[in-house]
Amino acid sequence: MSIAKEIAPYLPYLRRFARALSGTQASGDAHVVAMLEALVADPSGFPRDIDPRIGLYRVFLKLWSSVGLDTSEPVVELGRSSAERNLEALTPRPRQAFLLRTVEGFSIDEVAAIMQVSAADAAALVQTAGQEIAEQVATDVLIIEDEPIIALDIETMVEELGHSVTGVARTQREAIALVGKKRPGLVLADIQLADGSSGLDAVNEILTSIDVPVIFITAYPERLLTGDRPEPAFLITKPFQPEAVKAAISQALFFDRRAGRKAA
C-alpha cells in the first residue's frame, strides 16, 4: 500500500494536533502541508517498520523540530500578553507529549515511539506538562451542552483546573442569554442541542459580539475537519477522556491573547 493511502485516514487528526501545537488553523495546516511536501520529495523519510499512524506523527515532530516551527520560541516584542508568557512557560517537549497522550489518545508506549524516547521518559514528560499546566491562567467558562450528566462532568473538570463556570446552556437561546449576563473567557460547546438548535450556530452568534476561544465537543469530528470552511482549532471527540478536555482547555487559553489570570 502506498504511503498516501496509509496515512490518509489519520491526516484530519494530525491537523488537529498541529493546530493545538501552533495555536491556529492556518499555522497548523501549513505545518502539515510542509510535512507532506517533504514526504513527496523524499518518501524514504517515512518509517515503514512501525504503525503508519505512529510513523506519521513521528515524521511530523521531526520536521517541527528540525525547521524551527515551534511557536514557543521567544519573541522580542513589547506588551506581550500573559498568554504568550504562559505558553513559553510550558516547555515544548512536555507539551508535545501531553497532547499526544491526552488529545490524540496514544498510549505512553506509543508516545515514546513517536518521540523516540523511553517509556519512562515519555511518562515523565507528560507529568511535567501537567504540573506546568496547573500553574497557568484561570478564566470564566461557558458550557453549551444539553446532556445533564455530560455537562456536570465537564463542569467538574473545568473547576478542577481552577476555572469558574458562568453557566450551562442547553439551547442556543440559553447560550446567548448567558453571554449577555456575563462574558466568558472560554466556551465549551456541543454541536447538537436539546431543542434541535445548533451549538455551532450558537457559537457563531456569540462570536459576532465577543472574541473568545472555543472548544467544540462532538461525536463526529470529521464533520468539522473537512477543509472546506473555517474549522475549530480545538476539537474534542465524544466519548471523551477527562485528560483530553483538560488539555484542550489549557491549550486554548495558552494561545488566546485575551486570556489572563483572574484577579484574586
Q: How confident is the model at residue 255 (pLDDT cuts 50, 70, 90)?
A: low
CA–CA distance from 249 to each of 195, 206, 211 (Å)?
26, 18, 16
Please state whether beta strands 164-169 and 140-144 pair in parallel, antiparallel, or not at all (unpaired). Answer: parallel
Q: How many CA atoms lie within 13 A of 15 on its CB side?
A: 22
Query: What sign results for the dihedral spanned by CA atoms 162, 165, 170, 173?
Result: negative
DSSP for residue 116? T
pLDDT grade for 85, boundaries at 50, 70 and 90: low
Residue 64: predicted pLDDT: 87
Determine contact, residues 72/93, Cβ cutoff 8 Å. no
**H or E element that contains 214:** strand 214-218
Confidence of residue 148 (pLDDT cuts 50, 70, 90): very high
Once rounded to an integer, what is the mean pLDDT over residues 170-182? Answer: 95
**Cα(20)–Cα(3) distance, integer angstroms:** 25
Looking at residue 179, its pLDDT comes to 96
pLDDT grade for 246, boundaries at 50, 70 and 90: confident
Whole-number pLDDT of residue 182: 94
% the chain with pLDDT above 70? 78
Instruction: Please give the backbone phi and psi of residue 68, each rounded to the nearest 5 degrees, phi first.
Output: 70, 40
Q: Residue 218 has what pLDDT?
A: 81
Average pLDDT over residues 167-180: 95
What is the model's pLDDT at position 13? 93
The whole-number pLDDT of residue 107 equals 92
Name 88's Cβ contacts closer than 8 Å, sequence gap at least 6.
72, 74
- Cα distances from 131 to residues 45, 89, 108, 161, in angstroms, run 34, 11, 17, 11
This prediction's pTM:
0.58
Q: Are 210 and 252 in contact (CB under 8 A)?
A: no
Give pLDDT tens digits for 55-75: 999 999 998 877 654 444 433
For the ranges 82-91, 93-102, 157-166, 199-208, the lowest mean pLDDT is seen at: 82-91
Identify the DSSP state of 235.
Answer: E
Q: Count the alpha carbons within 13 Å of 66 in the hemisphere toward its beta carbon.
A: 9
Chain segment 100-115, per-residue pLDDT in tens: 987 888 999 999 999 9
Q: Biggest alpha carbon distance in the chain?
A: 58
The pLDDT confidence band at residue 135, using thresholds 50, 70 and 90, is low
β-bridge partners, 198: 192
Task: Look at residue 217 in the predicted model and tell me its pLDDT.
Answer: 87
Span 131-146, average pLDDT: 80
**Residue 137, pLDDT above cutoff 90:** no
Tell me: the pLDDT tens digits for 179-190? 999 999 999 999
